[in-house]
Amino acid sequence: MVKLVVNGAQEMAEVPGLQAAAGRLDIGFAPDAATLAEMLPGTEILLGWNFKGRELPDCWHLADKLKWIHWGGAGVDAVLFPELVQSDVTLTNARGLFDRAMAEYVLGLMLSYAKLFPETFEHQRRRVWKYRRTERVQGTHAAIFGVGSIAREVAAVLGAVGVGVTGVGRTARSGVPVFGDVHGADAAHEVVADADWVIGVLPGTEETREFFDAGFFTAMKPTARFINIGRGMSVDEPALLDALQSGGIAGAGLDVFATEPLPDDDPLWSAPNLIVSPHISGDYIEYQQDLVAQFLENVDRYLNGEALINVVDKAAGYVRD
């Protein structure tokens, strides 16, 4: 049988639903680098169960029969090392699986700010009764950076509650689902000048590193809020901190960071009007079962010699539409 190794799990019970493939695949588990080094020779399929796992590059020279890697996340930056990029090994990811959950998370952050939820929770904790008025999100406008499947779901959810959306991609183009016309990255400052919400859904590539920098935050309205659910590396965090402390922008919600977990002495923890969450925007309760089901669909395709879904362009770092 075709040999599959699950990197990042120790036993079948940790990967719900994978038992269904036990009769068709020779399945092994590699929870750490040492075990992965032992298991890789002869392995044809690798399932990256821990999407942040960094063990594979050190063991790559042992991958003598590897043909396909399925990475258990939407972002694949953890596994895009040069040897893999240059190889003939096919890389697929969990694109589409987390879209709705992440879109709901973005809306939740927006409502938290508009409806003053953090302030309300603090007042309740202190037993303070303080009347105030809140904002409506209907009629506001969001600039969404990234126009892939997650960004399109964010745009659809925001549109359903009356938020106008503008999409920004690598280059300007037309006919993008949900967005229609899309602005290029070179128009970023012009786009955010009129946005009430700026939402980052960029992949983690060298091209996007610190894309959201001091000049970007200066271009935003002082009443606007910034939300990032893409990759932490896309944000110049000291520049964001300065923008929050100076009042250059009204607030931010970050679910991803350059360093994760966020160090306990990082000044972002105490930044004014910043909501910090621990990279959870896409992880809904049943997502592991759905991730395995998606992987098994590709297993069927692989064993039948059919084209795989969610094939990553390794040079670009994401699945192209």
Closest CA to 254 of 238, 233, 275: 275
Question: pLDDT averaged over the chain?
Answer: 97
Cβ atoms of residues 275 and 228 within 8 Å:
no
pLDDT confidence of residue 51? 86
Q: What pTM value is reported for the model? A: 0.93
> Phi/psi at 297 (nearest 5 deg)?
-60, -40
221 — pLDDT class (breaks 50, 70, 90): very high
Judge residue 225's burial from the number of C-beta atoms within 10 Å of its C-beta, 0-12 exposed, 13-18 middle, 19 or more buried.
buried
Residue 137, CA distances (Å) to 113, 160, 219, 226 in order: 10, 11, 21, 14
Q: Answer yes or no: 170 catalytic.
A: no
Give CA–CA dist 176/314, Å, rounded: 22
Domains of the chain: residue spans and CATH: 2-97+285-303 (3.40.50.720), 99-276 (3.40.50.720)
Q: Which of 279, 301, 306, 320 is catalytic?
A: 279
Q: Which of 152, 153, 231, 237 is catalytic?
A: 231
| CA proximity to 148, closest of 179, 107, 104 | 179
Let me know if 260 is a catalytic residue: yes
Alpha carbon 206 to chain centroid, angstroms: 16
Contacts with 132 (C-beta within 8 Å, 6 or more apart), sequence order: 116, 119
Reply yes or no on whether the pLDDT at 36 is more than 90.
yes
Q: Give the separation between CA 225 and CA 244, rounded to whole angstroms.
A: 10
Residues in the chain: 321
Instruction: Reply yes or no on whether the pLDDT at 254 is more than 90.
Output: yes
Q: What is the 3-state secondary structure (H, E, C) of 54-80?
A: CCHHHHHHHCCCCCEEEECCCCCHHHC
Q: What digits encode the pLDDT tens for the residues 125-163?
A: 999 999 999 999 999 999 999 999 999 999 999 999 999
- Distance, in Å, from the CA atom of 175 to the CA atom of 169, rounded to the nearest integer, reads 13
84 near 59, Cβ under 8 Å? no
Residue 320 has pLDDT above 90, yes or no: no
Q: Answer for the pair 24, 299: CB distance below 8 angstroms, yes or no.
A: yes
Instruction: Average the pLDDT over 53-67 and give the result.
Output: 95
Asked if 225 is an active-site residue, the reply is no
Q: Which of the following is catalytic: 260, 297, 306, 320?
A: 260
Mean pLDDT of 286-296: 97
Q: Are 87 and 79 in contact (CB under 8 A)?
A: no
* pLDDT, tens digit (0-9, with 9 covering 90-100), for 181-207: 999 999 999 999 999 999 999 999 899
Q: How far apart are the first and last CA of the chain?
A: 33
